[in-house]
Chains A and B, each alone.
Chain A
Amino acid sequence: MTTATLEQVWVALEGLTDPEIPVVTLRELGILRDVRSGPDGLVEVVITPTYSGCPAMGQIEDDVRATLESAGIAARVITQLSPAWTTDWMSEAAKEKLRAYGIAPPHQTTPDVSVVRFMRRPAADPVACPQCGSTHTVVSSQFGSTACKALYKCLDCQEPFDYFKPY
């Protein structure tokens, strides 16, 4: 194990992708938050969980550790909850990759999430089909194959597809 510069650590982790959605990197998803120098001089890699119960988090942490180890970098992995992960951190490039992969990318989260005044569900923006681009789509299930996705169906091309839920 050697002491690596922070830049080297970023480079080593750059190619690491999400275990469930292998087209986007942890950095693009906003899961990989920071690489910094710890109080004892050891490099700290900061990750944040997506959903509280996302089963991929353990895998992500293991992947980060394994990548650092194979690059011969000594570092500590820290899980940080705050500020809470949001799909708004996802880069435009990442959203485009999701679309190309067949997952409709998340809309911006609603800025006024004042649940105290939350009554009826606000009218949602239409979700565009990642296959044909039509906005003539319908929710088939508010919950999908992973915690972060809902299931939709396109009424024009008839394809079912995943929608990455705004969170």
Chain B
Amino acid sequence: MSATIDYLLHLADNAVVLGQRDAEWCGHGPILEEDLALANVSLDLIGQARLLYQRAAELKGDGTTEDKLAYFRDSQEFRNYTLLELPHHGALVGYAVADRDYATTIVRNFLYSALMVHVWDALQTSADSTLAGIAAKSLKEATYHLHHSRDWLVRMGDGTDESHTRAQAAVNHLLPYTEEFWTVSPAETAAVEAGVGVDVRTLRAAWDALVNDALAEATLTRPQVRGYVPQGKVGLHSEHLGFLLAEMQSLARAHPDGCW
């Protein structure tokens, strides 16, 4: 049972952290349509997180709730991919709202949704029937997110010199973080053995094909990746997650058990 709970938390933390990041564009989108788009993507992701946290809380059976899991755990307890907690700009850039780079947002959403379409597709046959139900819904949403981010990736990559340069910089910055997808954590191994989870390594070829095809159409180059493997999904995060959680959790922590 604990294998299933840990796995659900990994999936839920991914969704809630990226949902929170993408929601930062609300009111700040580069154009109105993209402001709406990112808010909608966040809504889907936070909705998925809620369903997953609800299931985890139900299995824990100790009176915990979706809100407790999202708002009252600290960064080292979060099991999301490091990729998803990074701010919307490259490394070594000042940390100001004005520095947000939409290419970084789009490339991240693309790399993540290109993975999740395969993960959700596989999880439709999970031994946990609630998770299988969540996967069937989330697959439809992830497919739409993939369409959206892929369209923009191609538009930026195959666009102006400026947009191409920024898209290539975002790919160079973010692609190394995807190495974390292909290492298997103890929680994932246990979930695969229980028939609840999917072995991500089996999805790598399909993900590669999707990414290579999109990068080629976008006239972008896939950088060589070697060395660093992030470990967010085992709780070792970058310095950015704490700031993200502080903002996300502050209201719930200021008014514990508040209901509205």
Contacts and interface: CB of A to CB of B under 8 A. Distances in A.
Nearest to B48: A52
Interface in A37-52: 49, 51-52
A158 interface: no
A66 to B, nearest CB: 19
B51 to A, nearest CB: 6
A140 B132 contact: no
Q: Chain B: interface secondary structure?
A: helix
Contact of B132 (A82, A85, A144, A151): A82
A36 B140 CA distance: 28
B143 A83 contact: no
Interface in A47-64: 49, 51-55
Contact of A121 (B37, B50, B150, B209): B150
A84 B136 CA distance: 6
Q: Chain A: interface secondary structure?
A: loop
Q: Which of B36, B39, B137, B151 has the most CB of A within 10 A?
A: B137
Interface residues of A, number: 28
Contacts of A142: 33, 37, 144, 147-148, 151
Nearest to B47: A53
Nearest to A55: B43
B12 to A, nearest CB: 12
Interface in B32-69: 32-33, 36-37, 39-48, 50-51
A121 B47 contact: no
A115 interface: yes
Contact of A52 (B32, B36, B132, B141): B141
Interface in B216-254: 217
Contacts of A49: 47, 137
Given A52-B50, A52-B141, A83-B136, A143 B150 contact: no
Interface of B: 32-33, 36-37, 39-48, 50-51, 117-118, 121, 129-130, 132-134, 136-141, 143-144, 146-148, 150-151, 206, 209-210, 213, 217
Given A49-B137, A141-B36, A147-B44, 13 more contacts: A52-B51, A52-B138, A53-B42, A83-B133, A83-B136, A84-B140, A115-B143, A116-B121, A116-B206, A119-B210, A140-B33, A141-B33, A143-B39
26 contacts: A52-B141, A53-B47, A55-B43, A81-B134, A81-B136, A83-B136, A113-B140, A115-B146, A116-B121, A118-B143, A119-B209, A119-B210, A119-B213, A120-B217, A121-B147, A121-B151, A141-B36, A142-B33, A142-B144, A142-B147, A143-B39, A143-B40, A143-B41, A143-B148, A147-B40, A147-B44
